[in-house]
Amino acid sequence: MKLLHNCALAWIIGLLAAPLSFAQDPHSFSNPQQVLVRHLDLSLTADFKQRQLIGSATLDIERQVDDVEELVLDTRGLQVGLVETSDGQGWVPASFRLGEPDPVLGRALHIALPAVSRQVRINYASSPESTGLQWLEGRQTAGGRHPYLYSQAQAIHARSFIPLQDSPQVRVTFNATIFTPPALRAVMSAGNDPQAPRNGVYQFNMPQPIPSYLIALAVGDLDFKAMGERTGVYAEAAVLQAAAAEFEDTEAMLEQVEVMYGAYRWDRYDLLILPPSFPWGGMENPRLSFITPTVIAGDKSLVGLIAHELAHSWSGNTVTNATWQDTWLNEGFTTYLTYRILEAVYGRERADMERLLGYQSLLGDLADLPLPDQRLVPDLIGRDPDAGFTEIPYEKGALLVTELEQAVGREAFDAFLRQYFDQFAFRSLRTEEFVEFLEATLVARFPDKVTLGRLGEWLHEPGLPANVAVPTSPSFALVDEVRAQWLAGQLTVAQLDTSDWTVHQWLHFLNGMPARLSPAQMRALDARFQLTQSSNNEVAHSWLLLAIRNDYAPAWDRLRSYLVQVGRRKLIVPLYKAMLETDAGRARATGIFAAARPGYQAVAVSTVDNLFRAE
């Protein structure tokens, strides 16, 4: 019954799943305008010895024009074996060729298509260096015994473990059979069964069509704990209880978004806790967000991350950016939704502090980034789309969305968002298409309040437009006052009353310090507040940044262990960058990176490599 239901659902959604129109995706070789992949069937063995996924991908294809002679897929570092096509009756070998490797895009795989073919099967193996996979040894995991594999497909890394049309305009449903060592459990961005016996074979079905960057797999010594009716956590036993306690509000968050923006369309919402090398804070893989363990702080202070990944179930996974130049449609709306969720679950004060922290990081990026990269819709042609992930699509995007909300009022704006998610559900959207939608809705209804001129400025000009409403927070104003008094010598550290400060206030306190503090000031702060030993990874990050800038030697051991332990880009990159500003720092950074590098995921390795090269 459930299966029948899923099939019917898949069929109905499948009809709607095409994008509005295909744009040329500058980050894909594929030709969906001519022949479109609709469904994917994976059969893969996770070979931990060889560090390879080995097996086959079977693609159901649909011709968009009559005279198509080839299917072009994206690959990177794949070893391609036998390729076959089928007309639905039987399989025949197909001729294929791999194009020249491109450093950003990988290699096109051209497969000749007989006129009657409806399916293509590619036998292949991923490379041990696959940029989308990380193979960890037991000692790099929380349990210390069993190996762990996880994938990270966004932006264009799916092609490094599956040959497919790797463009967010193309959505597929999928089935998968994953073979693992018998002690381990496999989970995917699909229906997961926590009761599935650990027997080395796992079956998955994803009935809703999703873009390739949301296809995800992890294999490890994973247990499950329910948090609510529709929410739960997969994690290694050593972190399972702590994670379930930290993220226990996930169900309430889910309920709140449904109240604001309509029903959750993806059945369950579970979390997977990754090892600390996971290069991102979180990744919104449908039904199963991938989450860094660095946000398990013990006090729910960093659960904004969960709100963010959950919000992507609407903005991102239901309505998707068509190309990586339209990322702000995913991340800007999601950042706005994140603050709305925090406000609904924890109140206005918490939300405003996080809004202001976000705005401050945006100012940091605006000070650093070249002008063209400050546009909401950047030019990423010929560039690695991972480079577009600055605070611009996130926080500048959220400021634009907030401005629209404030122009028309919350009630009208929430209704607009609901309509947006309904109208474009399971579709991929370009910025121009969003602008047309806005024109037909809010601009038509509120012509004095929402104008295309202002919108164009937001989308295509660097910096921020004039008169942007800046977030404010009384809790931060208080911190500013205390910090100023301490810096002016009017208060000693002993007189700083921080007893009821939140983690966000601490972050604001540290981030707002002047470029230089004296050794005595650094020592005094550390002695009173044990900042070098802070167990909150964000606070530790802000403190270590100050330590580097002020040459505060007592923090060096912690700096090293932090950078060897944590592989999350956002936490490590600013620390390396700061070290590279001085000769002594460069020597320290070189030593630490040599020790840390083997534990980092490919994307983090290449980001840090580039920093060393750039200086």
Both tokens of 81, joined, read 């074996």
Beta strands 79-86 and 70-75, pairing class? unpaired
User: Residue 404 and residue 495: Cα distance in Å, rounded?
Assistant: 43
Shortest spacing between CB 448 and Zn ion, in angstroms? 33
User: Residue 365 and residue 305: Cα distance in Å, rounded?
Assistant: 20
- Segment lying near Zn ion (by CB under 5 A), choices 204-212, 232-240, 324-332, 523-531: 324-332
User: Residue 40 and residue 165: Cα distance in Å, rounded?
Assistant: 11
Shortest spacing between CB 281 and Zn ion, in angstroms? 9
Query: Do 236 and 273 touch, CB atoms closer than 8 A?
Result: yes
Shortest spacing between CB 148 and Zn ion, in angstroms? 23
Shortest spacing between CB 308 and Zn ion, in angstroms? 6
The yes or no reply on residue 282 touching ligand BES (CB under 6 A) is: yes
Of the candidates 305, 265, 311, 269, the residue with the CA atom closest to the CA atom of residue 287? 269
Find which of Zn ion, ligand BES, none residue 320 binds, CB within 5 to 8 Å per kind.
Answer: none
Q: Which is nearer to ligand BES, 153 or 442 (CB)?
A: 153
- Segment lying near ligand BES (by CB under 6 A), choices 17-25, 79-87, 281-289, 459-467: 281-289
* Interacting residues with ligand BES between 103 and 162 (CB under 6 A): 154-155
Query: Do 362 and 335 touch, CB atoms closer than 8 A?
Result: no
User: Residue 281 and residue 398: Cα distance in Å, rounded?
Assistant: 18
* Interacting residues with Zn ion between 326 and 355 (CB under 5 A): 331, 334
Query: Do 104 and 382 touch, CB atoms closer than 8 A?
Result: yes
Q: Which is nearer to ligand BES, 394 or 421 (CB)?
A: 394
Residue nearest to ligand BES (CB): 281
Shortest spacing between CB 306 and Zn ion, in angstroms? 12
**Identity of residue 584:** A
Q: Which is nearer to Zn ion, 165 or 334 (CB)?
A: 334
Both tokens of 400, joined, read 């634009």
Q: Which is nearer to ligand BES, 308 or 504 (CB)?
A: 308
Please, what's the b/e burial string for 387-425 (b: 16 or more CB within 10 A of its CB; e: otherwise)? ebbbbbbbbbbbbbbbbbbebbeeebbbebbeebbeebb
User: Residue 426 and residue 17: Cα distance in Å, rounded?
Assistant: 5
Residue 168 dihedral angles phi and psi, to the nearest 5° = -70, -5
Find which of ligand BES, Zn ion, none residue 397 binds, CB within 5 to 8 Å per kind.
Answer: none
Shortest spacing between CB 312 and Zn ion, in angstroms? 6
For the chain, give the number of residues: 615
- Segment lying near ligand BES (by CB under 6 A), choices 304-312, 344-352, 425-433, 532-540: 304-312
Out of 168, 276, 281, 599, point to the residue binding ligand BES (CB under 6 A): 281
Both tokens of 458, joined, read 């937001």
Find which of Zn ion, ligand BES, none residue 586 binds, CB within 5 to 8 Å per kind.
Answer: none
Shortest spacing between CB 343 and Zn ion, in angstroms? 18
Query: Do 168 and 323 touch, CB atoms closer than 8 A?
Result: yes
Find which of Zn ion, ligand BES, none residue 395 binds, CB within 5 to 8 Å per kind.
Answer: none
* Interacting residues with ligand BES between 534 and 593 (CB under 6 A): 570
Q: Which is nearer to Zn ion, 157 or 483 (CB)?
A: 157
SS3 content of the chain, % helix, strand, coil (to 5): 45, 20, 35
Active-site hit among 213, 261, 394, 552? 394
Q: Which is nearer to Zn ion, 334 or 441 (CB)?
A: 334
The yes or no reply on residue 284 touching ligand BES (CB under 6 A) is: yes
Q: Which is nearer to Zn ion, 236 or 331 (CB)?
A: 331
Query: Do 354 and 504 touch, CB atoms closer than 8 A?
Result: yes
359 carries an active-site annotation: no
Residue 383-422 contact track with ligand BES, rule CB under 6 A, x = bound: ---x--x----x----------------------------
Shortest spacing between CB 100 and Zn ion, in angstroms? 33
Find which of ligand BES, Zn ion, none residue 221 binds, CB within 5 to 8 Å per kind.
Answer: none
User: Residue 568 and residue 545: Cα distance in Å, rounded?
Assistant: 15
* Interacting residues with ligand BES between 48 and 87 (CB under 6 A): none
Query: Do 323 and 26 touch, CB atoms closer than 8 A?
Result: yes
The yes or no reply on residue 167 touching ligand BES (CB under 6 A) is: no
User: Residue 48 and residue 229: Cα distance in Å, rounded?
Assistant: 34
Number of residues near Zn ion (by CB under 5 A): 2
Shortest spacing between CB 338 and ligand BES, in angstroms? 7
Element (H, E) at 97: strand 96-98
Classify 553 as helix, strand or coil. helix
What does each C-alpha distance from 367 to 227, 361, 370, 568 come to in angstroms?
Answer: 42, 10, 9, 23
User: Residue 313 and residue 257: Cα distance in Å, rounded?
Assistant: 10
Number of residues near ligand BES (by CB under 6 A): 17
Q: Where are the alpha helices (DSSP H) in 144-249?
A: 237-246
Find which of ligand BES, Zn ion, none residue 427 binds, CB within 5 to 8 Å per kind.
Answer: none
Active-site hit among 84, 236, 246, 309? 309
Q: Which is nearer to Zn ion, 328 or 426 (CB)?
A: 328
Element (H, E) at 222: strand 222-226
* Interacting residues with ligand BES between 308 and 337 (CB under 6 A): 308-309, 312, 331
309 carries an active-site annotation: yes
Shortest spacing between CB 568 and ligand BES, in angstroms? 7
User: Residue 20 and residue 423: Cα distance in Å, rounded?
Assistant: 11
Q: Which is nearer to ligand BES, 281 or 378 (CB)?
A: 281
Find which of Zn ion, ligand BES, none residue 154 binds, CB within 5 to 8 Å per kind.
Answer: ligand BES
Query: Do 401 and 459 touch, CB atoms closer than 8 A?
Result: no
- Positions in the binding site for ligand BES (CB under 6 A): 154-155, 280-284, 304-305, 308-309, 312, 331, 386, 389, 394, 570
- Positions in the binding site for Zn ion (CB under 5 A): 331, 334
Catalytic residue numbers, as ranges? 309, 394
